[in-house]
Structure 1
């Protein structure tokens, strides 16, 4: 069994980007500038955005954090988005989700300039991804594809089961794994909450990508020997014995499943770090496009 170490891989990618940025500085070129818009004080969002800012500092990017109050109106946020679209100094930016209930997230994401949409959520970029054109691929799916590539996990002709159909992970994963290439060229089954007899699909799968958000949902009895397991889920589970009062759990019953898997991602330290690495990679691509 091989642990797919996202923390190590993400550090490798950050080091590679650092070298590119160093070269840009030596040539007197503008370095990439990533902005993040955070509305409110959601704990997970604060942690995630903070890690993005620190990552930018480490690799030599410029970064801007725009922290707006929980009471921000939809029009106020849209005004901020328009300002970022018009700001030539900003190469790419993200609007951190979730947003407060008074704001229509889809309306806001639609307002983002596709050329600065380093999250890859705009329909223009999603459509280009579907057509296998160069574009900004959503960071989590992009990170998983990079992980499969660097660990030389063969996906050609394999049966992949994706659990979860969100536009952020599940749907893009199904598209990317079925595209031409390796990783790619897989036969993909996209499952969801209405799928009947889910275990029939997972037991026949060579590769399982689960993005459900249900702690330890995938049991050892649901997979076949030698399956590749990619766990995207991460949930805080109360644990009074833990220092922080909680532990982080993925969608996979890790201790049991790892005994049958050929490759598996841990939680934490698997897919999560790769997400930030690929966001940085998208920002570098945005800067190169604007050169």
Structure 2
């Protein structure tokens, strides 16, 4: 670890300075396919990413084919979001990976695990998991207000059933938490309750450019859109492309035109 880190929290000071200059409004962790894993045995597990770094077992990120020591774990994510002054968005595994799934009748241990993860972030220093966080150096709770139930799992066999189990349990325990669905509600209403829906798009330049008006026709009632992943990719992107940059910029103008004007919100439409 470098000696000069931002607030002594492990990140290089010059790196955090550059991120702060971007004025981010939210930090989504651990992100996309890393959450699920190609197989559930290789999915991210928050419990194994806390505690002393040298004691973390790490895991194989089988989607992107590399080993991670999980040195940047769940606790570091919460701490980094606090240091950046951003909203932390906790994306958890919902019992679905790229290649296998947990049947809804057997999802209860996964639900319990997620409730424990939220208690780790938000619980008092006297709670079971809040005391673990306090022992790591942060007695005050982290203000987690948003969680995403899985990543790009909509349409999988057990997604909806599993989603509802997580949604109902979290709503009962933490009624203020805003929950994000993986299903696209931009043109068709969702068939399950949600506060937001996560919109991802990866396409060629022409298609993304033409999507600049996608949200012009989206209903303003119901769950709000959260555009957390977008990019021109593959042949059009190359190693840096003006065409790709212009297409992404055009798409962003559409988001800006349709975004919420509530200053307390981030990238919501």
Normalised-by-shorter TM-score class: 0.3 to 0.5
TM-score of the superposed pair, with normalisation by structure 1 = 0.33
TM-score of the superposed pair, with normalisation by structure 2 = 0.35
